[in-house]
Structure 1
Amino acid sequence: MITYRCRAAFISDVHLGTPDCKAGYLLDFLRSLRCEKLYLVGDIVDMEALGKRMWWHADHSAVLAEIFDMARRGVDVTYIPGNHDAPMRGLAGQTFGGVKIALDAVHEGADGRRYRVSHGDEFDPEQVGRTWLVHLGEVMHRFICWTNRRVHKMRQRMELPYLPLSIIIKSHIGKALDYIRSYEARVAADARERGFDGHICGHIHFGHVRAIDGVLYLNDGDWVEHCTALVEDDTGAMELLHWSEQPAALGRASRELVLPSPAAALALAPLARRYRDLSELRPAA
């Protein structure tokens, strides 16, 4: 087993309790992870989906057990509920099984940079709508996820690595890219107004490392489509990791440089290409 060491790790949008959750990959990542701090940045258990249809897999229980085990081993675990596990927000300020529950957090990097950490649904105003649903349509989004799930199973039978088909499809839809761009701009603007060096969030299921007017926008992605986590090394550099049969670095931000990783172009070319294309977008003036 690979051992991945870092100072802090951030994961969100796991959506345990749904068939689309890639719990097996996440479980492998958590078992490989050696970190001081773990931030669960919302939508870990999809209580909204479970309220409509009860669905659960043994791997989902194993993910929760691993998180609590990490807390017992001394990892500082902070759980920031999102919109799909919003009932947990009522427990803010409490600790459950060694896991601290908070509405948001401030993370200070090893290099002294300060980041606000929140799920990110607060940046999705009413006129924009619920995440992707206005831009893709609820039916279209369900179909894309269903297709992604079927393609994944087929590729597993052929012993091929995971391909985030849904992300590639979304990245070709202009309205989805416009939504991503405006969302990132709102998050960065809020961090700047609050005096932070950056903001770490999830919510929109599109992991990204991007500098916007001197502020770092860091989205840790998800474990439904991307299978990504954001990690901080001992120097304070932030890196976005894809974790499946072929782990790859998709982006990195240090004090000196913000760039996509060359390794991504080799190990996960389709996804890396979409990151490159998205990073070329600029907020409207």
Structure 2
Amino acid sequence: MAAASAPQQDSVRKLRTLFISDVHLGSKAAKTDFLLDFLRHHEAETIILVGDIVDGWRLKRSWYWPQSCNDVVQKLLRKARKGTRIIYIPGNHDEFLRDFPGVHFGGIEVAQRYLHKGADGRTYLVLHGDEFDVVVRNARVLAYLGDWAYDMAIAINIGLAAIRRRLDMPYWSFSSWAKLQVKHAVNFIGEFQKVVTEEARRHDAQGVICGHIHHAVIEDIDGIRYINTGDWVESCTAIAEHHDGTMELITWHQMRGDTAAGQRAGEAETMPVRRFAPQAA
């Protein structure tokens, strides 16, 4: 395990590949400002969007599309124009794009799944992962109800965060806690990881990169490297592949203007990360 030092305000990290998922543009919970700041500090030869970038479910219920959502889209399109290859793998919330495999939108290529060849020779199956979520796959009504409950948890989270800031208490995510309590109760995360890694094995891949469950992690499971990109609703995480094949889990935190440290809004840092180096041939 290694920790990455916080980048300077004007520094840009050069990477081979970036994997980002679960931004949920169109949701009030989307941390668009954080993501924009992250994208300003990171350049990659390839960016793979691993689903739920746009939240079509919420947009169907009520339209919410502030300028910050346009800014994220424009930022990605500008990167594509400058030569970054961008691959968009739709998830369940942006499933409307699954009707357009192989189509390019402003230089962004849509794909159902993608086999990524790492710099170390390792092959990764990249997919969103919702097809392995029994609730989403077999009970769409329950999935929508769960989505509504998550919205409520996020709303509670915002109120609690404001109170904790006033009391000079550290940040704590009620929505993340509630989600993990429920999913641990049914052993959801463990089962999800198991079936996704088995899918990678069926494709003769040595690893799998997915999103969907908003639980960022890099770990080896039964000989398969399991990587989850997390989300940009709560944890603000992404996966970076370095030019030597090292995979890095980055947690991007916006420093609040009202913290005891007195840091101004708009600053950011890279928190300690877990890095997996390529295996020797």
For the 8 Å contact 1:170–1:176, the answer to whether it is kept is no
For the 8 Å contact 1:239–1:249, the answer to whether it is kept is no
Match of 1:260 in 2: none
- Is the alpha carbon distance of 1:234 and 1:161 closer, same or farther for their aligned partners in structure 2, counting shifts above 3 Å? farther
2:271 partner amino acid: A
CA apart distance, 1:5: 2.1
CA apart distance, 1:174: 6.0
For the 8 Å contact 2:50–2:88, the answer to whether it is kept is yes
Whole-Å Cα distance in 1 between the matches of residues 99 and 200 of structure 2? 25
Structure 2 residue 157 is matched with structure 1 residue 148: yes
1:255 partner amino acid: P
Match of 2:245 in 1: 236
For the 8 Å contact 2:130–2:136, the answer to whether it is kept is no
CA apart distance, 1:147: 2.0
Structure 2 residue 38 is matched with structure 1 residue 15: no
CA apart distance, 1:168: 3.5
Higher RCO (C-alpha under 8 Å, 6+ residues apart): 2
Which is higher, the Rg of structure 1 or of structure 2? 2
For the 8 Å contact 1:145–1:166, the answer to whether it is kept is yes
For the 8 Å contact 1:187–1:199, the answer to whether it is kept is yes
Whole-Å Cα distance in 2 between the matches of residues 118 and 139 of structure 1? 24
More displaced stretch, 170-179 vs 183-192: 170-179
Q: Could you tell me which of 92, 95, 102 is aligned with 2:111?
A: 102
Structure 1: any 5+ residue segments left out of the alignment? 258-285
For the 8 Å contact 2:131–2:137, the answer to whether it is kept is no
- Aligned residue pair count: 255
CA apart distance, 1:161: 7.9
For the 8 Å contact 1:6–1:232, the answer to whether it is kept is yes
Q: Could you tell me which of 67, 71, 77 is aligned with 1:58?
A: 67
Match of 1:28 in 2: 37
2:63 partner amino acid: M
- Is the alpha carbon distance of 1:164 and 1:235 closer, same or farther for their aligned partners in structure 2, counting shifts above 3 Å? farther
- Is the alpha carbon distance of 1:128 and 1:69 closer, same or farther for their aligned partners in structure 2, counting shifts above 3 Å? closer
CA apart distance, 1:172: 4.2
Whole-Å Cα distance in 1 between the matches of residues 26 and 158 of structure 2? 15
Whole-Å Cα distance in 1 between the matches of residues 137 and 99 of structure 2? 26
Whole-Å Cα distance in 1 between the matches of residues 238 and 165 of structure 2? 22
> Secondary structure of 2:57's match?
helix
Match of 2:270 in 1: 247
Match of 1:222 in 2: 231
1:253 partner amino acid: F
CA-to-partner distance for each residue in 1:64-84, whole Å, 9 max, x for gaps?
000000001100100111111
Structure 2 residue 253 is matched with structure 1 residue 205: no
- Is the alpha carbon distance of 1:186 and 1:25 closer, same or farther for their aligned partners in structure 2, counting shifts above 3 Å? same
Whole-Å Cα distance in 2 between the matches of residues 159 and 76 of structure 1? 43
Match of 1:266 in 2: none
Using the size of structure 1 for normalisation, the TM-score is: 0.81
For the 8 Å contact 1:42–1:85, the answer to whether it is kept is yes
For the 8 Å contact 1:222–1:228, the answer to whether it is kept is yes
Whole-Å Cα distance in 1 between the matches of residues 186 and 271 of structure 2? 23
Match of 1:278 in 2: none
Structure 2 residue 82 is matched with structure 1 residue 73: yes
Q: Percent identity?
A: 39
CA apart distance, 1:252: 2.2
Whole-Å Cα distance in 2 between the matches of residues 130 and 235 of structure 1? 42
CA apart distance, 1:175: 3.3
Whole-Å Cα distance in 2 between the matches of residues 129 and 24 of structure 1? 35
Structure 2: any 5+ residue segments left out of the alignment? 1-8, 255-268
For the 8 Å contact 2:120–2:279, the answer to whether it is kept is no
For the 8 Å contact 1:200–1:220, the answer to whether it is kept is yes
CA apart distance, 1:148: 2.2
CA-to-partner distance for each residue in 1:258-282, whole Å, 9 max, x for gaps?
xxxxxxxxxxxxxxxxxxxxxxxxx
CA apart distance, 1:137: 5.1
CA apart distance, 1:165: 4.1
- Is the alpha carbon distance of 1:81 and 1:153 closer, same or farther for their aligned partners in structure 2, counting shifts above 3 Å? farther
Whole-Å Cα distance in 2 between the matches of residues 161 and 243 of structure 1? 16
CA apart distance, 1:91: 1.4
Using the size of structure 2 for normalisation, the TM-score is: 0.82
Whole-Å Cα distance in 2 between the matches of residues 18 and 105 of structure 1? 26
Alpha carbon RMSD of aligned pairs, Å?
A: 2.7
